[in-house]
Amino acid sequence: TQLLEQSPQFLSIQEGENLTVYCNSSSVFSSLQWYRQEPGEGPVLLVTVVTGGEVKKLKRLTFQFGDARKDSSLHITAAQPGDTGLYLCAGEIGYSTLTFGKGTMLLVSP
């Protein structure tokens, strides 16, 4: 059973378009993190959300944590080719333990 479901699994868009990636679960998380992974590299943390309903912005990226702390979304405005990568959400389920979603592969074409 997959604890965290990410959608869509793959997204191919043109530069300048907006997009939203979703991360859903039936479990409650004490925190939720979003990572981006580029080919041949390890995941790099983008943001951590802790409080239900919390919204965080990182330049053109907007992250939201659901009120019940079971889901999250990542919205990218005016996507650029440099945003291309695998986006992973990860929920903190216990002491020093993260569970990852299966990821959303984003391809932004010029």
24 lines the binding site for other proteins (CB under 8 A) = no
3 lines the binding site for other proteins (CB under 8 A) = no
84 lines the binding site for other proteins (CB under 8 A) = no
What whole-number distance in Å separates Cα of residue 87 and Cα of residue 36?
5
96 lines the binding site for other proteins (CB under 8 A) = yes
Part in contact with other proteins (CB under 8 A); list of ranges 19-27, 56-64, 67-75, 97-105? 97-105
Task: Quote the radius of gyration of the chain (alpha carbons, Å).
Answer: 13
Q: Is 89 exposed, middle or buried (0-12, 13-18, 19+ CB in 10 A)?
A: buried
What whole-number distance in Å separates Cα of residue 29 and Cα of residue 41?
27
Part in contact with other proteins (CB under 8 A); list of ranges 20-28, 44-52, 55-63, 75-83? 44-52
Contacts of 64 (CB under 8 A, 6+ apart): 49, 53, 54, 55, 56, 72, 73, 75
Which residue, 97 or 110, has its beta carbon nearer to other proteins? 97
- Enumerate binding residues for other proteins (CB under 8 A): 30-31, 33, 37, 40-45, 48-50, 86, 88, 92, 95-100, 102-103, 105
